[in-house]
A and B are shown apart, each in its own frame.
Chain A
């Protein structure tokens, strides 16, 4: 079976509208999470993208009033990634969209767009028309593993030679819809979240879009290969993490098996780390069962908040860049061990030689995701 590599990418977030700006901000320990106010939930902490800045950036691509906020975010991300592959016919590229709720904000009466926009196929149609694609993009909507699963879907399509290349674009908003939902679970932190830390009090949500090039063509320099990936369901609870970390453990085991490596060869883990009591505890149990308790690990949730359907994609891009730059980013917000099982949480952004890295994610519905990346040096 042919190998599949990760290529260039673009991140649109409150920390910047290029991947470079995002990487720099995170290197400097800057968080996108700020205090905001909502008519439904009162004060809350989240990462919002400035509509003005977004419109300014979008101006050169299209009419700002014709597209929703999420569409503009996603189009900006895809346009940049595509631009670097203008020699390849767009018909030869698989387009995959990953999102949980898409344009869910259009269900609100205050929103100027039609409620029809809230239907996910309409989002695919908008991107298809904007980029003049022959085929309608494929949509993956699988809770908070969507962005990672989208890359797995791309990998499979390239492996079976349906396509040579794919663009995976993920995106989700901070909407009153999701805010009120997480608030009803009493899951929202009243501060910047603290993944894996003893004093953690819950999640922040954030908005972002990200696009990533996935290809069968080995990049001449900086080749990062997907060597294994899997999902697994906990079969335990639809909104609560498994107490044994079963699904996450199985997904890691299956990814390790496909990669044909030993778990001790994994140099770094980009964890999900939402900063809820139960999620972080579940992850600690699963990583311990998988023999990864000493492996350096971080969560990026205190930089961005939980960006839902795009989070696993955004964090996978950071994992790819960690490999290429031999650099690990500190797990912002972590002070003191806060799980019953030990973890090696990264407390300092620093250079570190990396060869194989693991990205994981978990979500409602009991779903779990694991993907292993390997750097191929020439």
Chain B
């Protein structure tokens, strides 16, 4: 028999607004830069996490999203993420500095999975990680990979979804997946929630 899992919480960040379970919880003027938005969101969430300010945009988005998604996590909560632009913002910064002094502090962010490292440190997760790249949101691979981890007891719960930041914009859509709940975890449901305004 096919074992089912459930979406028990979600977070979406777009257009300088944060939604938890489809409900807007924080919003600033859309004209504000992403850096300013992230700074205000940090204050709103009362994060007091000094490391945050050193991170690149992708990592800041990841920390904010996972902090909103749930208060605390079991240490075997897996991370299964996907985006389109990998670590593009930090890549361009490193490329621009090639001729003078490339900084290690920036170079380390030129990998998409660094955000999973930052989230793991923040929430103390010593768990499974997988970062996928796709032109558009591809929920099938996220669902099948997540289900495999949960079914085979390689993780007790999973944070999965889309975490994108590029030179022009960003879009975050993360979900919390558990063995119990009401909304069945499936690719069509994820896709529907992803495009839902």
Contact = CB atoms under 8 A, between A and B. Distances in A.
A120 interface: yes
A118 interface: yes
Nearest to A144: B111
B178 interface: no
Given A234-B126, A235-B120, A365-B111, A157 B144 contact: yes
B141 interface: yes
A363 B92 CA distance: 21
B184 interface: no
A231 B128 contact: yes
Nearest to A150: B130
A143 interface: yes
A295 to B, nearest CB: 23
B133 A364 contact: no
Given A121-B134, A141-B131, A184-B107, A176 B113 contact: no
Nearest to A40: B98
B124 A141 contact: no
Determine the interface band of chain A, counting residues with CB < 8 A from chain B.
35 or more
Contacts of B148: 156, 159-160
Given A159-B148, A180-B98, A246-B126, A120 B111 contact: no
B15 interface: no
B114 interface: yes
A181 B114 CA distance: 15
Given A177-B95, A177-B98, A233 B129 contact: yes
Interface in B95-130: 95, 98-99, 101-104, 107-108, 110-118, 120-121, 124-130
A185 B84 CA distance: 27
A279 interface: no
A152 B131 CA distance: 12
Contact of A118 (B75, B91, B133): B91
A127 to B, nearest CB: 13
A245 to B, nearest CB: 12
A138 B98 contact: no
Contact of A367 (B103, B117, B144): B117
A360 to B, nearest CB: 15
Contact of A108 (B84, B86, B95, B134): B95
B154 interface: yes
A364 B92 contact: no
Given A162-B144, A238-B108, A181 B94 contact: yes
What bracket does the count of chain B residues touching chain A fall in?
35 or more
A39 to B, nearest CB: 9
Nearest to B126: A235
B108 A104 contact: no
A236 B144 contact: no
Given A141-B131, A176-B98, A238-B121, A247 B114 contact: no
Interface in A83-112: 100-101, 104, 107-108
Given A40-B99, A141-B112, A231 B129 contact: yes
B152 interface: yes
A230 interface: yes
A142 B135 contact: no
Contacts of B86: 119-120, 141
A143 B113 contact: yes
B183 to A, nearest CB: 21
Q: Interface centre among B88, B94, B103, B130, by most A CB within 10 Å?
A: B130
A377 interface: no
Contacts of A104: 91
B113 A142 contact: yes
Interface in A181-211: 181-185
A223 interface: no
A70 to B, nearest CB: 15
B171 to A, nearest CB: 15
Contacts of B91: 101, 104, 107, 118, 177
A367 B121 contact: no
A285 to B, nearest CB: 15
Contact of B125 (A184, A235, A254): A235
A139 to B, nearest CB: 4
A140 B131 contact: yes
Nearest to B136: A121
A343 B152 CA distance: 31
Contacts of A185: 104, 107
A231 B128 CA distance: 5
Contacts of A124: 133-135
Nearest to A99: B133
Nearest to B147: A160
B102 A184 contact: yes
Contact of B134 (A139, A153, A162): A139
A258 B103 CA distance: 41
7 contacts: A100-B111, A119-B85, A136-B135, A152-B130, A160-B147, A230-B154, A238-B114
Interface of A: 40, 100-101, 104, 107-108, 118-121, 124-125, 136, 138-143, 149, 152-153, 156-157, 159-160, 162, 176-177, 180-185, 230-239, 246-247, 250, 254, 258, 363-367
Given A107-B91, A230-B128, A363-B113, 8 more contacts: A140-B132, A142-B113, A180-B107, A231-B130, A235-B75, A235-B126, A237-B121, A367-B117
